[in-house]
Structure 1
Amino acid sequence: MHMVFILIALIAFIVFATSKLRLNPFITLLLASFIAAFAFGLPLDAIESTIRGGFGKILGYIGLVIVLGTIIGVILERTGAAIVMAETIIKCLGKKFPTMTMSIVGFIVSIPVFCDSGFVILNSLKRSMARTLSVSPVAMTVALSTGLFATHTLVPPTPGPIAAAGNLGLENNLGLVIGVGLVFAIIAAMAGLVWAYFSRNLPSTELDLTEEAFEEGKEHYGELPGPWKAFAPIFVPIALICLGSVASYPTAPLGDGFLYEALNFLGKPLNALLIGLGFAVLLIQGNEKLKGFARHTEKGLVVSAPIILITGAGGAFGAVLAATPLGDFLGQNLSTLGLGVIMPFIVAAALKSAQGSSTVALVTASALVAPLLPQLGLDSDMGRVLTVMAVGAGAMTVSHANDSYFWVVSQFSKMDVATAYRSHTAATLFMGLVTITAVWLASLAAL
């Protein structure tokens, strides 16, 4: 039993260090790796190489993908392409069901753009729609925030889900993760919509914003791109990754000739995102496109660097756990409890609720449970994918005062803290519980 106590103590240390001591998650996970190595009795001459190997292995698989995905998101944000994507969706769907439209806007925009940035970008559009259509501002806020949050935690190429997929050995099967992630993200977004309906009578002091003010707010972007150019940087890579996954199915549906080789090459996440980056560069306006691209790249590197380091430290932590007898011990005990995907959810939800960051929760929880997948009955491609979904569900449960996204949503929507808890926080709790229920039911049917 002492190994269980060590594991619980390690989780408590990570939560305490990141939430109370405010230590950077990278340093926390690195320290946890060394503490785990000594506590579980790894040979002294193997500790350094195990940690270094785990760090390098995960970054070798997924590091460049995180960088490229982040740079694409920065370009979409800074060129106004995200605004174009939102307006195009609204034109296609109309304004008959405004909360649903707002949820779908957030759902799509947050695939490449961080949910915090996405909310800031789309907030004026949300307020404009709420005013002109006489819809509850709180309901529109919840619809937007939960739509953004659904894909942020469940669908690559958002960095958190990508890192979790890499930790769980799915770096070459992201197409399956994207496909399954979209299904569960729809379920999560629908749960958010339900809560938006229940939040419609909550008070709001959000200021009115006219259509003219919204138009003025777009002027700093300059000439906005067309819809095809705006969507291409994200939809083309996703399509290529999915086609590459189809081509690589064991049944060889596309044969083994040139078409297979081409799609297999183009569908590799790194290659697909590099093509997406090429489409993103076309969005940059002005005579000095190279300078603009350099600025956006620099910003993308700044944003992605902490995620990459945390992901690497998570890989090191996972490698240490994998080198201990913990997996075998827990397997003999957990397998009889039938926890399955519930355990990854609980770990991620505890981390998310305690320290605030969904990305940290995704990376840390996936690294922690990766060595335990055989004992949990999840050591298959679909089992690993469902584990990513369970961790993603936990990483949205719940967004409250220690989460920067909570403050972005509440402050930009002019909510007091009590209203934000009753609307946004309660919505993320409901989303997480509904999503993990769906994931658990899917695991019963598929595993």
Structure 2
Amino acid sequence: MINSFLYVFLWLLAGIAVIVLLTTRFKVHPFFALIIAGFVVGIGVGMPVSEVLTHVKNGFGNILKSLGLVIVLGITLGVILEHTGSTRVMAGFIRKLVNEKRAALAMNLTGFSVGTLIFCDSGFIVLDGLNNSLARKTKVPIATMAVSLAAGLYAIHCMIPPHPGAAAAAEIIGVDFGQLIMAGIVVAIPTSLVGFWWATYAGKKNPVVLADEEEQESDLPDHSVIRAFLPIIAPILLIAIRSFIALDAPDQNWVISVLVTIGDPVIALAIGVLLAFNTKRGWQKNTVSHLMQDAVQKSGGILVIIGAGAAFGAVLVAINIGEYVNQAIPLEGLGILFPFLLAFILKTAQGSSTVAVITAASIVQPLLPNLGITTEMGYLLCVLSMGAGSIMISHANDSYFWVISKFSGVGMREMLRVYSVATILMGLTSFIMVYLLSLILL
């Protein structure tokens, strides 16, 4: 199977076009779009159908073997924290810590904290009532409050596992979860704050505030702040500690062995789930059953997208896309800029950050040597740069855009002026942070 670069490249573009058109114009689920794209590219370059099918199956199975339990447990943890009210306890604590004069900053920090293990759209819906209540009390423009909260949730969502895009990219590229979490948090903090800053600045230009109305706020759950935060903090610390331990050290003692075991992402997240259950007393069997079912159902949609993305990537690896691109385009000088631009284009075109990162990782993985990315730190920065690209630009084809608009009552024009521009600034800030890290780590 010998083809020219132009021929292979055109079929690659055709595959990407299939993903974008099917998911945006025809509203096809990303799973089917990615699988179809894999067959389009494979068959287009002359690969037998049976061989394409084999690569699709292998790619799908291998990624789920590595990430299946991590995604399910991560989503389960988020579902329990929502149900027990731990997210509201964390929000109340941060609000008191910052005080109501800095209400927008309080919601930004709350979103960042809660978003560590809860999807950005779910987190926004859960915290929307508190956000609106705070906006009424403080008379801060609702666009400022909504986008500040959204930015905190979004920055962390695009950067760290177990969020599906970052988790899948880490597995495809070969990056340690613990190191990605720690570096991702470092990048996400200024990214989140830039979103808050722009929301504060741009929101003043059209200071629409929510009208006062009688509110009867439900009491916060009776568990402590420590119990609320612990299910999130414990898994992150355990995974981070494990990543800095030499796993192949010959003189490991029992303490190191235990830390290595409980720091495995699956075990660490399972511990987080148990700690989350401890935030509430008197669990009913039906309630637990409902939460578990809800978590599994939410996980299923994410897992099939991740699997399909890996299947698409397996086809690209099989056709040696890296060799073709290397022959025609000098990629050495692009480095981490290429994955950033690729994820940015895919995100802007089809709307989903998760699909953008998974697709970009699948395309970039065979090209890593050609990009001059050959070290563990280089792989880490590559994943972070794709996360940065997947932040921008969020607009009308992004479901999160509409969640923010509909729940907060911010109109289309204001969403584009405040939120969409905020995502551009956040994405650029993320990439600048990744570049600065590259100067230190490489």
* Distance change (3 Å), C-alpha of 1:329 and 1:66: same
Residue 278 of structure 1 is matched in structure 2 by: 274
1:174 counterpart letter in structure 2? F
Q: State the 1:444 CA deviation.
A: 4.7
Does residue 261 in structure 1 map to residue 244 in structure 2? no
Q: How does 1:37-436 map to 2 (within 5 A)?
A: 37-43=42-48, 45-170=50-175, 173-203=176-206, 205-208=208-211, 213=215, 216-218=216-218, 223-248=221-246, 256-288=252-284, 290-336=285-331, 338-436=333-431
Percent identical pairs in the alignment equals 39
Q: State the 1:5 CA deviation.
A: 1.9
SS at match of 1:21: coil
Q: Is the 8 A contact 2:136 2:212 kept in 1?
A: yes
* Distance change (3 Å), C-alpha of 1:309 and 1:209: farther
Give structure 1 stretches of 5+ with no counterpart: none
* Distance change (3 Å), C-alpha of 1:248 and 1:86: farther
Q: Is the 8 A contact 1:284 1:292 kept in 2?
A: no
Q: State the 1:205 CA deviation.
A: 4.4
Residue 3 of structure 2 is matched in structure 1 by: none
Q: Is the 8 A contact 1:128 1:208 kept in 2?
A: no
Q: State the 1:248 CA deviation.
A: 2.8
Q: Is the 8 A contact 2:93 2:225 kept in 1?
A: yes
Please give the alpha-carbon distance, in whole angstroms, between the structure 2 residues aligned to 1:298 and 1:424: 34
Deviations 1:348-377 (A, max 9, x none): 222222222222222222222222212112
Q: Is the 8 A contact 2:332 2:372 kept in 1?
A: no
TM-score normalized by the length of structure 2: 0.93
2:315 counterpart letter in structure 1? V
1:139 counterpart letter in structure 2? T
Deviations 1:309-354 (A, max 9, x none): 1101111111111111211122344445622222222222222222
2:121 counterpart letter in structure 1? D
Q: Is the 8 A contact 1:281 1:293 kept in 2?
A: no
Q: State the 1:178 CA deviation.
A: 0.1
Q: State the 1:132 CA deviation.
A: 2.8
Give structure 2 stretches of 5+ with no counterpart: 1-5
Count, aligned residues: 437
Please give the alpha-carbon distance, in whole angstroms, between the structure 2 residues aligned to 1:380 and 1:334: 22
Higher alpha-carbon deviation: 348-357 or 415-424: 348-357
Please give the alpha-carbon distance, in whole angstroms, between the structure 2 residues aligned to 1:332 and 1:187: 38
Q: CA RMSD in A?
A: 2.2
